[in-house]
Amino acid sequence: MSTQQTVKPPISVTNLTKYYGSLCAVNQASFEIKKGEIVGFLGPNGAGKSTVLKILTCFMSATSGEVYVAGHNVYTDPLAVRRKVGYQPENVPLYNEMLVYDYLQFMAKMRGVPRAKRSERIDYVVQTCGLKPVIGRAIRELSKGFRQRVGLAQALIHDPEVLILDEPMEGLDPNQIIEIRDLIKDIGREKTVIFSSHILQEIEKIADRILIIDQGRIVANGTIAQMTSGIENRRRYRISLKGSSEQETDLKKELGALASRVQLIPPAAGGPDALSFELTTRDGGDLRPRLFQLAGDRKWELLELREVNLSLEDTFRALTGRDKLQSEAS
């Protein structure tokens, strides 16, 4: 009787652990990434993001765990993994004195692209990465945005199945960020992409799914909608009332009896004669009827009352930041 071998997704990580001496940088991390997914990889500085990405690219070995990339085991078949992976590290090792075209020719050769196909692959990455205006210039003359594009081009030159990008938008200005964001989205239509970034707004605009790592552990794995709807049953509301700064303390005390957190914010309605508050609750229930009733009982002039959607930043803070510390302390 024949047994059918399970086909692994382009990235499959099971119980990945990495120690640096006695320091555990990655602790029993497990996740999978399917073909055609763009996955954002988030975490505070030192959380283990770059370590995981380096292990996926065979740049570094793990202490234990099972890791497959493009169907190949990173421990027993690293050369096959490298052939299937395009990697852009945080600091791309470019040769500044080389012309862009010469550099791409060199990388095509280093990546094992057959001689007969090199011109075709160079033309493809030049077109895909928007490098035509600088193809004849020295790399040292390029702006940060174009250097990042060259870094992406070298990662794509050998037509990899999996693209791994470590902080691809680091140090870019807003226009350059938009350009690289759109480029990653275009590439993601054909490739499996995992990328790390500290720019949460860009993660929200690019990624199909989010992984969050904290202190070496994967603490969240899902779509943005799944994450923001499930952080400790939190819900957030915005209420604006007619009033002056002298009433702030009393109003905040009254509202604080209904919510776990109350914060004064710039008024969204009512102008300078209004006080606006943002309230967070953890019980999962709808707070609006109680707020409306409280306003009526206290004869407050209600200008605005609405629920506010939680953001990826809220999720990130709840799982890794000050919100987490406050929750653990209470």
Residue 199 has pLDDT above 90, yes or no: no
pLDDT tier for residue 90 given thresholds of 50, 70 and 90: confident
Q: State the number of CA atoms in the 13 A half-sphere of 196 facing the CB.
A: 22
Same-domain pairing of 111 and 257: no
Q: Mind listing the pLDDT tens digit for each residue in 132-149?
A: 999 999 999 998 889 989
Same-domain pairing of 203 and 263: no
Residue 60 has pLDDT above 80, yes or no: yes
Same-domain pairing of 172 and 269: no
CB burial readout 141-172, b (16+ within 10 A) else e: ebeebbbbbbbbbbbbbbbbbbbbbbbbbeeb
Q: What is the pLDDT of residue 169?
A: 84
Same-domain pairing of 24 and 166: yes
Q: 3-state SS of the chain: helix, strand, coil percent to 5? A: 40, 25, 35
Residue 249 has pLDDT above 50, yes or no: yes
Same-domain pairing of 53 and 120: yes
Same-domain pairing of 261 and 181: no
Same-domain pairing of 75 and 188: yes
Q: What is the pLDDT of residue 307?
A: 87
Q: For residue 271, is it within any domain? A: yes
Average of per-residue pLDDT across 273-292: 85
Residue 100 has pLDDT above 90, yes or no: yes
CATH number of the domain to which 17 belongs: 3.40.50.300
Q: For residue 314, is it within any domain? A: no
- β-strand 64-69 against 11-20: which pairing, if any? antiparallel
The whole-chain average pLDDT of the chain stands at 87
Spatial strand order of the sheet with 302-308 comes to 261-265, 274-281, 235-242, 302-308
Q: What is the pLDDT of residue 270?
A: 61
Residue 325 has pLDDT above 50, yes or no: no
Average of per-residue pLDDT across 262-270: 77
184 or 121: whose pLDDT is higher? 121
Non-local CB neighbours of 166 within 8 Å, separated by 6+ positions: 49, 50, 53, 87, 88, 89, 90, 195, 196
Q: What is the pLDDT of residue 229?
A: 63
Q: For residue 162, is it within any domain? A: yes
Residue 233 has pLDDT above 70, yes or no: no
1 or 105: whose pLDDT is higher? 105
Let me know: does 87 contact 57? Beta carbons within 8 Å.
yes
Residue 232 has pLDDT above 70, yes or no: no
**Total structural domains in the chain?**
2
Q: What is the pLDDT of residue 268?
A: 65
The residue range of the domain holding 293 is 235-309
Q: Mind listing the pLDDT tens digit for each residue in 207-226?
A: 999 999 999 999 989 887 77
Q: For residue 158, is it within any domain? A: yes
Average of per-residue pLDDT across 82-103: 93
Residue 329 has pLDDT above 50, yes or no: no
Where is the domain boundary, 178, 193, 224?
224
Residue 4 has pLDDT above 70, yes or no: no
